[in-house]
Structure 1
Amino acid sequence: MSFTPRDVFPPGRWRGRWIWTGRTAIGAPTAESPLGALDPAAFDGRVLFRRAFTLKTVPSSAPFRVTSDSRHVLYVNGVEAARGPARHGPRSLTYDHGDAAPLLREGENVVAVLARFHGHRTPWWEPTAWTFTLGGGSLVAELRAGDAWIVTDGSWRCAVPAAWTPSAPRSLLVSQIPEVFDARLLDPSWNLPGFDDRDWEAATVLEARAVVGGEPDARPPSDPFGPLLPRPVPPLGAEPRAARTVETDPGTRAGLAARLGAPDVVVADFGQVVSGTLRVTVRGEPGAEVSGALLEVPAPAAFDAAGGFRYTCRGRDDVFEQSDPAGGRYAVLGVPPGARVERVEVVERLRPRPEGPFFVCDDPLLNEIHRVGLRTVDLTAHDAYLDCPTREQRAWTGDSVVHQSVDLVANPDWRLARHHPSLAAQPRPDGMLPMAAAGDFADPRLPAIPDWALHWIRSVHNLHRYTGDRALVAGLMPVAEGVLRWFTPFLGRDGLLHDVTGWVLIDWSPVQVRGASAALNALYARGLQDFAEMAEWLGDLGRARWARDVHEGVRRGFESFWDGRRYRDTLTTRAASEHTSAAAVCAGLVPAGRADAVRDLLLDRDAMFTRSPMGRRGTDHGGPLASDPVTLRAEPDWDVDRLVVGAQPFFRYVVHDALALLGAAGSVAWLCRDWEALLASGPTAFRECWEGGSYCHGWSATPSRDLLVHTLGVTPAEPGYARVRVAPRLGHLRWARGAVPSPHGLITVEADRERATVDSPVPVELHHPDGTTTRLPSGGTVRW
């Protein structure tokens, strides 16, 4: 039965109550900490919950919802029904929901939950602002089975399992939590009907209380979470992928064996990067210990960035699945004498990408690049857009603009594309966005990456153009304005930003940024331009005028960077980059008379060179912690008059946009062939940089957008695709075909050197290569 959460769970108080064990992670109030203090002794704590009930008949639908602080897996009669909650900020929480009817049966049933409180910051979780009883571990759930409601309250039974040994992150950079699990100490039938839970304790109801004011109540909504809202992104899939080869090789794996402290090493090769929860089936005597991790490469240094595990066998039914997600190509396992690894798989838990959109052309290399780009984004799209599933799993504020852009043209399910900018819209008190959202690097004590917040504004602009959702965009505009106004104290009398604090990254390439950074000023101007366009669309002419006035000041000051033939990266260097020139074009800073010179610079690939500290890093060499910090930026030691700093894969989305604005969209298809180098180093997912970095990085997937947006030329002509603009610019291709999603349905385009055919549910603007335009009511075939 199909229903929405509001059909069954209207706004207001829940029926379910917050529950936990008798001890949360919040200690007693003290004079120094009147709200109580989190107790590290209770961190990484797991709690088992059960509630049995009897049904005479199975209802046609049994809607449920559940959430927790920090993680939960909900089982109905032993079958997983929900896993969450979705990544969230420190003062928000969403619930998972679904229909349990297919899992129910006549007679005895049981709802069971494995709940966990992190305590430690992780890449996907940050502590909430606890208040006496909430913020140190809690669970709430409710299920309607016919006329009966099964809700969390004091009738539930709970137990703190001894099977897990609490663990902690090794450092700020290596912040995944290892899992130590002794299967001998957990009856695997704990979540099934008939299990004897009489030795378990009654769950403790947590009555939410505030410091001052408010009426205590154990039912949500409650501080510090506020109203609990439905999960804003689709449930993740659960597709098992078995390893292609599983080999024991102690002779050549001595370094791995030493690292794992085991005599034998098993290396399971999946043949591609995978992302999800690692599952291992083992045959061994009770007490035998198997340890390991999912890695990018089978090398000892790879463990420096992996969330590993140690599993103690029970001697029967030994199937272990890690709690936390991981990514990589190789599962490396240490195995004791007498034990045998029988099966290794990863349950891929990714957001869905339904079929429909596609791209294909007569260049097989571009077809493969497009396909691998989609796979790369899929692997880095969970409950947020992640940098990589392998090392970090952080939702970086700027990276996600590429993931989102790919999804908007290649995935008909836009829920994550719509939600991620809202997830990242959690500014510091000064208005700047943290470098990453909803995780350890959202800590306000860490510096921000100012330019990443400007890429975030571009992702809001994408929502404006593609969705046409005024309410969604309007809700994000105050945060965008706060970001832009954060920069204004750095504006000098010349209209330019000077000496901006924080980590001005731009790209891993050695773009010079000291003093007045031309690339940062251009990105700021693009943000102002995007903001003004959205404000005018919303009818907010005052804020639009303010943004355009500041933009004009940057435009005038930007002339200082022009040296007569190209834009310099700073006022004190002769070094130049394609970052600065491309961003200047996208920001409307380049006068018409210079367009040819800038276009020539961007197309002169012989003059482009890239250099990145990531080339000296990586689990394939010394490990991510073994080399120079990635923040180090090379001083010019190259021929600055002849060579131009080239963009890494991430910033190429700006470069390709600039070329399209300069009338060179036909060059984009050929430029996307540069990704052949990434296919050579990782044929199943794109690496982080042209050399080095993680083996799967969503920000490297821009060809999967650009071949549809610039080569096939399909973009919104009006917000929300009220009309579609189609401007094929095939370049070296003889033909190309594709389809992109819109709020009104798929838009399909076929183009060759002579004609274009458009099948569109909305009116079409077909832009010919000669500059003329044909307007079509809803598709058709037009000869050039």
Structure 2
Amino acid sequence: MSRGWTGQWIWCADGRIAKTGEFSDVPLVPAAAHDRRVRFRRVFPLALVPAAASLRITADSRYTVWVNGHEAARGPGRGAAGRLLYDVVDVARWLVPGDNAICVLVRFYGEANAWWRPVTPTFSHGAGVLLAELELPSGVLGTDRSWRHQTSPAWTPQKPSGVGHAVPEVLDGALCDPAWLEPGFDDTGWAPARVLTTLHLGGTARSTPPADPYGPLLENPVPPGEPVERPVRWLRERRGPDPGGEYGPADLVANVDAGAAPGPVPAGLPFTTVLEPGVAVLLTAGWDEVVAGTLVFELDAPPGVTVDARPAEDLDEHLRLRPFQHGYAARYRTRGKSDRFCSADPVGGRFVLLVLRGEGEVTVRGLSVLERLRPRPPGPFFESGDPVLDAVYETGLRTVDLTAQDAYIDCPTREQRAWTGDSVVHQSVDLLSNPDWRLARWHPRLAASPRPDGMLPMAVAGDYEHRDGAYIPDWALHWVRSVHNLYRWTGDAELVGELLPVAERVVRWFEPFSRDGLLTDVTGWVLLDWASVQGRGASSVLNGLWGRALRDFAEMAEWLGDAGRARWARGRHGELAAAFEQYWDEERGGYRDWLTAAGLAPAMSEHATAAAAAGGLIPPSRHARALAFLLDRTALVRRAWSFGLMPLRAALGPPAPDWDVEREVVAAQPFFRYVVHDAVALLGGADHIADLCRDWSELAGDGTRTWREVWHGGSYCHGWSSTPSRDLPLYVLGVSPAEPGFARARIAPRPGALTRVAGAVPTPFGLVEVRLDRSEVAVSSPVPFTVELDGWARDRPAGRFSWSREQPG
């Protein structure tokens, strides 16, 4: 338990919360408070610089803190309602003898966006707040009335926009002198901060945490790594007419891009151009791969030059924006000296477009992205000597890195939402490749935010959860699998016990939809995958995923000593298994997709048989035929009727199949392939996983060094597509926990046609390393383990061992 807080809640003087009426008891955040920036300063003397100086800080909604002009932290990480996170950072390295300054810029969004949701306000809190305290040898320096503040006019308030609900940023540099970050800045025109005391029914008028609506503050469990600068690699200039008018930054960039003439060959930085009235200069810059972080540009320019910025993940062959480029956009007006812009929110893309307007000479000195990603220390690896598979493994790691920030997000380029179901793949990759499991442990807790009926939001800690509109029932079942991953890999009974009641509510949510043993007509958006798989009626895929969740829940409940709940889940699973027989197609050797009122529909997919295997619904006598069905690639078709039709799907249903449903089988998109690969392994076909991972090679070659959302189309960086980076160490190298928490490891390499594989996989006790070639297998393990290979098995204690594959001895 952390110590209590000395710092007080503070905010600006005019940030008061109103009532909805004269005699109303309903608090209301005024619209004028939305997207407000408030700057805070505190100057203090130091005789000696301490060896350590711990700063605890949080804000609603976002903060950046500087110590003597050095950026020290950004936050807080996204959190659940009533559980505000705070950050801890040692700022001693930036302190100096004499006067020191802590400066904080706080942005209060007001309206929900992809990574923030407003709390229910009280009469004192919920319209913006700052809380900080610095621990020094002389005592604790906390936020109070001695801090000075200014509600900054430099930023023009904006609203969330686009698919990703990103909030544009419009900043007038002339109204934001960077000297405000220095101890000697004259802040006599600034006002003392207002201390907030809790005011609500039952409030105690205290000014320190805990307080509603933020609850007991939690330390951020996943502080970001050190920022890494990614400067652009090339830049090209084009010119077009200045469209004028009241265009927002995103629309203006698109307008100029469409009308700009071809430019000269790419150049590097620094880059100088001359602006003329009525002419817009478009600078298109790019990286060799997708990047994600805060956008930074530095300029030498006359006062009043306007720079509009828009990252992009894709351009056409003429370096023009392709359609449907949604995401962040910014506008900056130069002050004429020390012009440096750094985005408040994270962005992502492979390109960035800058539109410069004004008059005079402008030099772009710097243009980069500062990546602030969750840590991934070195140590784990996978290599096979096969350049295709080795590249597939590394690309998946990079993709997950970019989508592992303050949560596992779908993509850094368009949405940045913390989806409930996507994250099972991100988490699995981290468990197999990252010694730092903090985010793998935290994200399932963040997503454990059930609606009153027990169903989970389709994305948490953002606009979708706040609006509580659409939900994806099967995404909650993937979340149950992520809890099961925690049970197997961490063996943390306290953590699993915390999440198990939420998992039970999820599993039981489906029970009222059970008709004659099968889930039928389940409400919500039954997505399943972007592939053309039927979710209406009695979907075999949804029933298979429910079967897996029932087994996962029963196994975890039994492990925690709750035999009663385990017995209930196993009983429901038995009823489901008996009813599931209706989907079996004896002639084709797999399971059909759905039952309708008219009977069993003919459509078949990889998904149905894979979900049946993952859910433990296939009798052992059918395993060989089901495996052959999943490995038969001759009749696969890739169809994705869901993609691009979401707004109409609920009203109109999917279009009629345009493939031969009597013969062809719909292939899984990259996300659902994690279920397919699990099924192949469960059915005894793990030797085929390496070959199945080769499918990802067709996604390579577009220069992004990340995986796309689907086989054809979608965003260019989607963590849910990184299954091979889990499966190559899990199935090909063969490392997994034989007992929860790696009390014992199982090492069962299945290299297929590969002549050698090597790798290291993290455990709570260190790395398990395996090396295998045609003649020998060598293992180094910090825990006892069992080796299973070539039909033989050997148990060994922790340590280093090797065996001849011909004579294992």
Is this contact kept in 1: 2:87–2:223, CA < 8 A?
no
Q: Distance in 2 between matches of 1:54 and 1:303?
A: 52
1:46 lines up with 2:37 in the alignment:
yes
Give CA deviations for 1:273-330 in whole Å, capped at 9, x if unaligned. Answer: 0000111122221111010211102344557412101110111111111111010000
Pick the aligned partner of 2:166 from 161, 168, 176. 176
How does 1:434-513 map onto structure 2 within 5 Å? 434-492=457-515, 494-513=516-535
Pick the aligned partner of 2:760 from 739, 742, 748. 739
How does 1:43-122 map onto structure 2 within 5 Å? 43-122=34-113
Give CA deviations for 1:307-363 in whole Å, capped at 9, x if unaligned. Answer: 101110111111111111010000111112533433210011111110000000021
Single out whichever of 542-551 and 21-30 deviates more from structure 2: 21-30
1:585 lines up with 2:608 in the alignment:
no
- Partner letter of residue 681 of structure 1? D
Residue 295 of structure 1 is matched in structure 2 by 312
1:241 lines up with 2:230 in the alignment:
yes
Single out whichever of 635-644 and 575-584 deviates more from structure 2: 635-644
Q: Secondary structure at the match of 1:606?
A: coil
Q: Distance in 1 between matches of 2:85 and 2:401?
A: 23
Give CA deviations for 1:451-470 in whole Å, capped at 9, x if unaligned. Answer: 00000000000000000000
The CA deviation at 1:775 is: 0.6
Shift in alpha-carbon separation, 1:32–1:528, aligned structure 2, 3 A: farther
Q: Distance in 1 between matches of 2:185 and 2:771?
A: 60
- Partner letter of residue 224 of structure 2? P
The CA deviation at 1:35 is: 3.0
Q: Secondary structure at the match of 2:591?
A: coil
Q: Distance in 2 between matches of 1:372 and 1:597?
A: 33
- The structure 1 segments of at least 4 consecutive aligned residues displaced by more than 6 Å after TM superposition are 251-254, 259-262, 614-617, 627-632
Is this contact kept in 1: 2:531–2:642, CA < 8 A?
no
Single out whichever of 691-700 and 102-111 deviates more from structure 2: 102-111
Is this contact kept in 2: 1:497–1:521, CA < 8 A?
yes
Q: Distance in 1 between matches of 2:528 and 2:477?
A: 11
Q: Distance in 2 between matches of 1:451 and 1:315?
A: 54
Single out whichever of 162-171 and 704-713 deviates more from structure 2: 162-171
Pick the aligned partner of 1:278 from 295, 301, 306. 295
Is this contact kept in 1: 2:240–2:279, CA < 8 A?
no
Give CA deviations for 1:663-715 in whole Å, capped at 9, x if unaligned. Answer: 11010101101001111335410000000000000000010110000101000
Residue 383 of structure 2 is matched in structure 1 by 360
Give CA deviations for 1:76-124 in whole Å, capped at 9, x if unaligned. Answer: 1111112100111121101101212111111101111111111111111
Give CA deviations for 1:728-749 in whole Å, capped at 9, x if unaligned. Answer: 0001211000000000101000
Q: Distance in 1 between matches of 2:279 and 2:466?
A: 37
The CA deviation at 1:247 is: 1.2
Is this contact kept in 2: 1:729–1:769, CA < 8 A?
no
- Partner letter of residue 659 of structure 1? V
Is this contact kept in 2: 1:121–1:127, CA < 8 A?
yes
1:611 lines up with 2:639 in the alignment:
yes
Shift in alpha-carbon separation, 1:633–1:782, aligned structure 2, 3 A: farther
Residue 775 of structure 1 is matched in structure 2 by 795
Residue 567 of structure 1 is matched in structure 2 by 591
- Partner letter of residue 464 of structure 1? Y
Q: Distance in 2 between matches of 1:471 and 1:144?
A: 31
Q: Distance in 1 between matches of 2:649 and 2:576?
A: 35
- Partner letter of residue 512 of structure 1? Q
1:753 lines up with 2:769 in the alignment:
no
Residue 206 of structure 1 is matched in structure 2 by 196
1:315 lines up with 2:336 in the alignment:
yes
Residue 265 of structure 2 is matched in structure 1 by none
Q: Secondary structure at the match of 2:187?
A: coil
The CA deviation at 1:195 is: 0.5
- Partner letter of residue 567 of structure 1? Y
Work out the percentage of aligned pairs sharing the same amino acid. 51
Single out whichever of 504-513 and 233-242 deviates more from structure 2: 233-242
Give CA deviations for 1:745-781 in whole Å, capped at 9, x if unaligned. Answer: 01000012332111001111101232x3111112411
Is this contact kept in 1: 2:419–2:460, CA < 8 A?
yes
1:147 lines up with 2:171 in the alignment:
no
Residue 343 of structure 1 is matched in structure 2 by 366
The CA deviation at 1:629 is: 9.9
The CA deviation at 1:230 is: 1.0
Q: CA RMSD in A?
A: 2.0
Q: Distance in 2 between matches of 1:122 and 1:45?
A: 15
- Partner letter of residue 455 of structure 1? H
Is this contact kept in 1: 2:544–2:615, CA < 8 A?
yes
The CA deviation at 1:616 is: 6.4
Structure whose residues are more often strand by fraction: 2
Residue 702 of structure 1 is matched in structure 2 by 723
Q: Distance in 1 between matches of 2:67 and 2:226?
A: 18
Shift in alpha-carbon separation, 1:31–1:583, aligned structure 2, 3 A: farther
The CA deviation at 1:386 is: 0.4
The CA deviation at 1:42 is: 1.1
Residue 247 of structure 2 is matched in structure 1 by none
Give CA deviations for 1:389-445 in whole Å, capped at 9, x if unaligned. Answer: 000000100000000000001000000000000000000000000000111111353
Q: Secondary structure at the match of 1:681?
A: coil
Gaps of 5+ in 2: 242-252, 261-277
Residue 222 of structure 1 is matched in structure 2 by 211
Residue 621 of structure 1 is matched in structure 2 by none
The CA deviation at 1:235 is: 2.5
Q: Distance in 2 between matches of 1:165 and 1:527?
A: 48
- Partner letter of residue 179 of structure 1? E
Single out whichever of 52-61 and 721-730 deviates more from structure 2: 52-61
Residue 555 of structure 1 is matched in structure 2 by 577
The CA deviation at 1:167 is: 0.3
1:646 lines up with 2:667 in the alignment:
yes
Q: Distance in 2 between matches of 1:46 and 1:289?
A: 20
Shift in alpha-carbon separation, 1:240–1:631, aligned structure 2, 3 A: farther
Is this contact kept in 2: 1:91–1:129, CA < 8 A?
no
- Partner letter of residue 77 of structure 2? A
The CA deviation at 1:371 is: 0.5
Q: Distance in 1 between matches of 2:716 and 2:642?
A: 11
Is this contact kept in 1: 2:256–2:280, CA < 8 A?
no
The CA deviation at 1:31 is: 5.8
Pick the aligned partner of 2:622 from 569, 594, 598. 594
Pick the aligned partner of 2:432 from 405, 409, 413. 409
Shift in alpha-carbon separation, 1:631–1:474, aligned structure 2, 3 A: farther
Q: Distance in 1 between matches of 2:530 and 2:49?
A: 58
Compute the TM-score of the two structures, normalised by the length of structure 1. 0.95
Is this contact kept in 2: 1:250–1:265, CA < 8 A?
yes
Q: Distance in 1 between matches of 2:705 and 2:644?
A: 22
Q: Distance in 1 between matches of 2:692 and 2:331?
A: 46
Residue 538 of structure 1 is matched in structure 2 by 560
The CA deviation at 1:32 is: 8.0
The CA deviation at 1:56 is: 1.1
The CA deviation at 1:367 is: 0.5
Is this contact kept in 2: 1:25–1:137, CA < 8 A?
no
Is this contact kept in 1: 2:164–2:416, CA < 8 A?
no
Pick the aligned partner of 2:394 from 371, 374, 377. 371
